[in-house]
Amino acid sequence: MRTSFEWIRSMVPGLTEDPKEYSDRMTMFGQKVEFFTDLSKDLEKIVVGQIVSITPHQDSDHLCICRVDVGQEEPIQIVTGASNMKENDKVPVVLDGGRVAGGHDGTKTEGGIKIKKGKLRGVESFGMMCSIEELGSSRDLFPDAPEDGLYILPSDAPVGCDAVKYLGLDDKVIEYEITGNRVDCFSVLGIAREAACAFSLPFKPALINETGVNGNCADDISVTIENDELCKRFVAREIRNVKIGPSPEWMQKRLRSQGIRPINNIVDITNYVMEEYGQPMHSYDYDQIAGKKIIVRNAKDGESFTTLDGEEHKLDPDMLLICDGEKPVGLAGIMGGENSMITDNVTTVLFEAATFDGTNIRKSAKRLGMRTEASGMFEKGLDPNNAILAMNRACALVEEMGAGEVVAGTVDVYKEKKEPVTIPFEPERYNEFLGTDISADEIASYFEAEELSVDREKKLVTIPTFRQDLLCFADLAEEVARFFGYDRIPVTALKGVTLSGGISEKDEVLDIARNSAFSYGFSEAMCFSFESPKVYDKLLLSEDDERRNAIKIMNPLGEDYSIMRTQTVNSMLESLSLNSSRRNPDARLFELGKTYIAKALPLSELPDERDIFTLGFYGEGDFFVMKGVVLDFLESAGIRGDIVFDPDSNNPFLHPGRKAEIKLSGESLGFLGEVHPTVLSSYGIRERSYIACVDIEKVLLNRDSSVRYEAIGNFPASTRDLSLDVPKGITAGEIEAVFKKYGTKNLESFSLFDVYEGEQVREGRKSMAYSIVFRAPDRSLSDDDVNTAIEKILKGLSDIGVELRK
């Protein structure tokens, strides 16, 4: 929302603050000023001049020499390259030492351009005649300005006077951020009312005179509303003997400050009233209205209609039409029709000020792809009681400006009158709620200033209908707060019971994951939750892989962001790929993020959101580094049981010989592995990469964070080294499972210290050497004890084809 500062001041005559002070105060009062623009920025010493004579320049084809009366004793000489002027024309002239805002091509120069007297091709020039662009404005707002050339002023412009002022460029434009609840503030009147309250000044809107002579509007037009849900009110008035012409300068100036291009008196009046009252209006050529009637009805399916911009639209039955006796003449609240639009030849005009349902207008405008200024206003949900005020204001302007004769009487179809609501006046409660101590008198004075009426006896506040935002005590407390000043409300500490607070167990485990990752050099990544459905193929997932059952977004930003991820591998590979493509020599990343797993598709209930700890790296390190990080995390998180790495893992994006499922008592906690070379190349990663995913939920279910001390054995340990001859297909995990199974209760630990394949080892075999430690808590073990255990182990090993090396 923007307003002309001059317009505001006209309604709040006591306002003396400068735009900066005004902006600050309005912001603290609840109408945030985003910024303000000084239309006269960089304009200095610019006056109205009249061209006395034009003579050609001897040394130039395109320059000529003008003598211009600028209200000084003698006309001044100005050399110009313009050619659209003739003698006696009046133009804006910047004098020697003055300043213009920019070039005539419309580009603005920061700080403006200083104009000094000088010689042009040897002829002295004492200033410059200006185009509208050089004055910092545009042909948009001054449609009578030529496309390329000087701006010719009206012939009655007083020579020598300040041209900036004359053109209304001495105004400031204030830009506000109006919050959605204050529909009344999308109008100059509404803002001015707020300004009056903010500065405790009287509010003086323009008085509306009674209008109308001769006849009765109701004899000339009837209005029927077929859908009073979507059209709450329709007000019509008639103007006869319309004399189309330009609107007065004062109106044009204000419209320009509002960023609206002046067109003609009738159109300008409806635009002016829309700005002033926030009520869109429409004018029809009465003579084009068949059957002297207006019918407001829903469109028929497939009905088509041509709006006044010449576009034809296909309509649907949810859209509302304004029709005459035969045909549609307007798309309600969006745009009028070509068939009834105002032309220069119009003699009788029908004004419409109606109230349409905001949601319906928004949806219709959206479906039609034509959001207009009017539809934008109706969307907010307007006060029907405002429609009559706007109508009468428009008619008063018609009379005042002599634009036509207003016919007496009004046609006003308004089935369900919106009445003001009353809510209790509860000053103590506001104070309790705010932590303030403001007297009831003062509170009442706040309310009255903004036109709420307070009945102190009945303890009731009556809310005018334009304040749709005031419905309950909290709303009134906010009014109290902003009148009193948010900055004056005390600052207090919370009372009441102390709560222990803290973080959840899940957050604790996530922190443990972070710390494990940090200690191995992994930095934390963050990735989007949605991705492209193409990633399944990139990850070599089979057609029936469950991970293809992703939740789709109805209105994604594009296919690349259209499904909620069911795995985190793609995000990690994308991140590694980015690092690889930027030639980072190594990268270690982890992510704590969610996957979204639908219970059924299409989604009928909320999906499972699983927190996944994903690690990925390339550069120094191998599979076993990743395995180490994973184990370290699981151990820190309190996983106490035997963690098994099962090479049988259904993750086709991993190297088939270098992957494992991470299992605890048969249940998978996640997986890890080296990334499949095919996948690496489709992600454009040049280096071998490793990835691991752990499901945090599974960790939470299986963790035992209690810590118990176990006595340190006082009796000596017995260590035996076994050098084993192992079939190539047997894994360390299988051998170790035998140790655990047969090692007796005295088996304390074992460790692999050598693996060897090659010379001295038979084809299809490998050599593995383990050191096994036995210890009993209560005695020194005898050789026999240990030998028995070793024998059992060897027997168990021979079952899987493992022998002692000879």
Partner 1 sequence: MIKDDLSKIVSQAREKILSSVDSNVLNDIRVAVLGKKGELTSILKGMKDVPEDERPKVGALVNDARKAIEDALCEKRKALEALELSRRLSREKIDVTLPARRLRKGHPHPNTLALSEIRKIFTGMGYEVVDGPDIELDYYNFEALNIPKGHPAKDEQDTFYINKEILLRTQTSGVQVRQMEKRKPPIRMIAPGRVFRADEVDATHSPVFHQVEGMVIDKGIRFSDLKGTLEGFAKKLFGEETRVKFRPHHFPFTEPSAEMDVSCFKCGGKGCRFCKGEGWIEILGCGMMHPKVLSMSGVDPDEYTGFAFGLGLERIALLKYEIDDMRLLYENDTRFLSQF
Residue 514 in contact with partner 1, rule: CB under 8 A: yes
DSSP assignment letter at 585: S
Beta bridge partners of residue 727, listed in sequence order:
765
What are the residues whose beta carbons fall under 8 Å from the beta carbon of 250, sequence distance 6 or more?
A: none
Using the rule CB under 8 A, which residue among 155, 343, 345, 498 binds partner 1?
498
By the rule CB under 8 A, 657 interacts with partner 1:
no
The answer to whether residue 74 forms part of the interface with partner 1 (CB under 8 A) is: no
Exposure of 360 in the CB half-sphere (CA atoms within 13 A):
21
Distance CA 642, CA 656 (A): 24
* Cβ nearer to partner 1, comparing 517 with 789: 517
Beta-strand relationship, 231-240 and 64-69: unpaired
Among 250, 518, 715, 756, binds partner 1 (CB under 8 A): 518
User: Given the rule CB under 8 A, which of 56-64, 253-261, 495-503, 640-648 is the region that contacts partner 1?
Assistant: 495-503
What distance in Å separates the CA atoms of residue 744 and residue 740, rounded to the nearest whole number? 8
Residue 199 to residue 473: CA distance in whole angstroms: 24
- Check binding of 278 to partner 1 (CB under 8 A): no
Q: Does 675 bind partner 1 (CB under 8 A)?
A: no
Residue the block writes with tokens 């028929």: 300
Which segments of 241-389 are extended strands (E)?
282-285, 293-298, 304-306, 312-314, 320-323, 328-331, 335-336, 349-356
Binding-site member from 507, 559, 642, 704 for partner 1 (CB under 8 A) = 507
- Answer whether 640's CB lies under 8 Å from 704's CB: yes
Tell me if 373 contacts partner 1 by CB under 8 A.
no
Interacting positions 575-594 with partner 1 (CB under 8 A): 575, 578-579, 582, 584, 587-590, 594
Our finding on whether 474 is near partner 1 (CB under 8 A) is yes
Sign of CA dihedral 151, 154, 160, 164: negative
> Rounded to whole angstroms, what are the CA distances from 58 to 76, 79, 119, 123, 643?
19, 12, 13, 9, 99
Does 787 sit near partner 1 (CB under 8 A)? no
Structure tokens at 588: 């270690």
Q: Whole-number minimum distance, CB 494 to partner 1, in Å?
A: 5
User: Minimal CA–CA distance to 109: which of 94, 99, 118?
Assistant: 99
Give me the phi and psi of 227, to 5 degrees please: -125, 95
Q: From the list 86, 156, 557, 764, which residue makes contact with partner 1 (rule: CB under 8 A)? A: 557
When the beta carbons of 524 and 537 are compared against partner 1, the nearer one is 524
Give the C-alpha separation, 275 to 185, whole Å: 11
CB of 432 to partner 1, least distance (A): 7
Cβ closest to partner 1, residue 537 vs residue 608: 608
Among 77, 347, 385, 436, binds partner 1 (CB under 8 A): 436
Token pair for 495: 């009372």
**DSSP class of 535:** H
Single out the residue of 594, 533, 523, 596 nearest to residue 559, CA to CA.
533
494 binds partner 1 (CB under 8 A): yes
Residue 492 touches partner 1, criterion: CB under 8 A = yes
797 lies in the site for partner 1, by CB under 8 A: no
Question: Does 224 engage in binding with partner 1 (CB under 8 A)?
Answer: no
Query: Taking a C-beta distance cutoff of 8 angstroms, is the pair 45, 94 a contact?
Result: yes
| Closest by CA position to 286, among listed 209, 214, 222 | 222
Residue 745 token pair: 């209760």
**549 part of the interface to partner 1, by CB under 8 A:** no
C-beta closer to partner 1: residue 244 or 332: 332
Whole-angstrom Cα Rg for the chain = 41
Q: How far is the CB of 554 from partner 1 (least distance, A)?
A: 4
CA–CA gap between residue 78 and residue 201 (Å, rounded): 48
Residue 423 interacting with partner 1 (CB under 8 A): no
Q: Which of 207, 491, 600, 711 binds partner 1 (CB under 8 A)?
A: 491
Give the nearest distance from C-beta 132 to partner 1 in angstroms.
30
- In whole angstroms, the minimum distance from the beta carbon of 633 to partner 1 comes to 12
Q: Residues 378, 520, 623, 671: which binds partner 1 (CB under 8 A)?
A: 520
Residues 641 and 667: their CA atoms lie apart, in Å, by: 12
Size of the site for partner 1 (CB under 8 A): 86
Of 2, 28, 423, 548, the residue at the interface with partner 1 (CB under 8 A) is 28
Q: Strand 523-525 to strand 587-597: parallel, antiparallel, or no bridges (unpaired)?
A: parallel
**Residue 498 vs 665, nearer CB to partner 1:** 498
Q: How far apart are CA 181 and CA 109, in angstroms?
A: 39
Q: Which of 472, 707, 711, 712 binds partner 1 (CB under 8 A)?
A: 472
* Contacting residues for 338 by C-beta, under 8 A, at least 6 apart: 306, 307, 308, 309, 310
Stretch that binds partner 1, among 28-36, 51-59, 633-641, 731-739 (CB under 8 A): 28-36
600 binds partner 1 (CB under 8 A): no
Q: How far is the CB of 566 from partner 1 (least distance, A)?
A: 13
Please identify, using beta-carbon distances, which residue of 179 and 787 lies nearer to partner 1.
179
Q: How far is the CB of 575 from partner 1 (least distance, A)?
A: 4
Alpha-carbon span 512 to 376, nearest angstrom: 52
If one asks whether residue 527 binds partner 1 (CB under 8 A), the answer comes out as yes
Q: Is 612 among the residues that bind partner 1 (CB under 8 A)?
A: no
Q: Which of 30, 112, 149, 262 binds partner 1 (CB under 8 A)?
A: 30
Among residues 179 and 224, whose Cβ is nearest to partner 1?
179
Q: Does 482 bind partner 1 (CB under 8 A)?
A: yes
H or E element that contains 430: helix 427-434
Report in angstroms how near the CB of residue 578 gets to partner 1 at its nearest. Answer: 6
Minimum separation from the CB atom of position 593 to partner 1 (A): 8
Q: Which of residues 178-217 bind partner 1 (CB under 8 A)?
A: 179-182
Asked if 473 is part of the footprint of partner 1 (rule: CB under 8 A), the reply reads yes
Stretch that binds partner 1, among 475-483, 700-708, 756-764, 797-805 (CB under 8 A): 475-483
Using CB under 8 A as the binding rule, the residues of this chain from 341 to 360 that contact partner 1 are 358-359
